[in-house]
A and B are shown apart, each in its own frame.
Chain A
Amino acid sequence: MPDEVRRAFVWMVGSLASVRLLLASEYWSRTLYQIAIPVEDPLFPQVLRDPLVLLLAALGPLSVELIGMWRPTVSKMRMAAAVEIVSGAVLLIHQASFYKATWVVIFWCGWFLAWLAWTAVRKPDLIRPCGPLLAQAIVAYFFLGGAVGKWTAGYWSGEVFQDILFRQHPGMVYQYLRTTFSESTLWQMAVIYSRTIVLVETAMVGIVFVPARVASVLIGLVSLGLWGSSSTLYEIAFPLIGLAAAAWFLSDSPRIG
């Protein structure tokens, strides 16, 4: 297996494993609530309200991720890819987790791992031309989804983020801002913050057209910025950093043909 593929895989799986580790106690708690206060609703079939399905899908892949990272082989890579895709798919449609964007990201990262485990291993001539492009295309896709929904007056005026973050968010940074600054200053911050997010997300759709190494650095920087804006956004930032690292390593693959 080419070294760059192994490195890309380790970074990618490592980023997903770190997200799962950090989410472990939250999903344990969600499972307990699913047991203690079950909710019957018109949309979800019984199996997708099941607490054990939730727990297995959320935390089961950890073992495969950690084993896969240790001296990866092709079979470990394929197992990890399959497990990430299934886990992401289940959690995207489970009652207790469907509304978490984390699983959209992990689902598609699972497919990227599948590309590494099958295509990159069997067809090394496609690693350099297609690997970084696929990573960049996935990142551009995430930002397209995020940007389009924010092309509204409410986001441009700052009203939505003012309420969700500056008024409600329990994070330390926002608590500090609420106790330190006046309401009018917080509004101004919300406007600047909101417009920055809309513009950056819209611009990031173009990342698919940028050379791989430049794209890799930009994705890394934007991901760190996302994480800095809210500590809980590690769920999105870490996998993006994994994709950025993969694009970097794969762009170094020798040209074949």
Chain B
Amino acid sequence: MQPTDRRPGTPQTRHGLSVSPHGVPATPSLLKDLRSLRVLLLHPEDNDGDLLRRQLQRIGCQVQAVWPPRPQLPEGVDVVFLAVRPDSIALDYSWACAEGAPPVIAVVTYENPTIVDAVLRVGAKGVVSSPVRSFGLLSSLVLARKIGQEIQAQARRIAKLETKLAGQKRIAEAKTILMQTRGIHEDGAYNLIRDQAMAKRVNMEEIATAIINANEILSFRPAGQEVKR
């Protein structure tokens, strides 16, 4: 082995994971957050519940333990451990699927279809199986938060893209109206919308919407009569 050939490599770089510009793989922020994490433990006070609470506290999280689950979450929860049990699957878990809900890690005693279905319905981002072991909880915790953050970031991005796409469709429609009613080319129609938007200090999508609305009113025909375009 040629040790110095690796410099300034680290164990991480050897496995091809990302490294900061200084060559130092910093501790991930998801790990650094662990100490300020507010964990809601929705679990009965039994051996598993006790072990979960103690290990989470050992890691340094702030733990609030509640059972049975209430229809609403308390304020300021970063992650939820939820016992998914035969006697509690009928409860209302709509909070778990709400927008911006904290990630849920299911704690399961059974692995039958009923329980697995319930795990899917609460939108779990991780599973811990009973009897719970202290080893593995930290990884589950970090992974569930990572997945939860990624899903939320993607949802935001998709919503933004959908808005953008709808706007583009309206602009295209408005251009068509202008080209037909004014007998101008596509570039001219585009410039007209853009100039109006700049003059009125609104975005192009709004001008396009106004043009579409006006056209619908102006080209109104009684029912059954074909609209001539």
Please determine whether chains A and B interact with each other in the same assembly.
Answer: no
Which residues of A pack against B, CB within 8 Å?
none
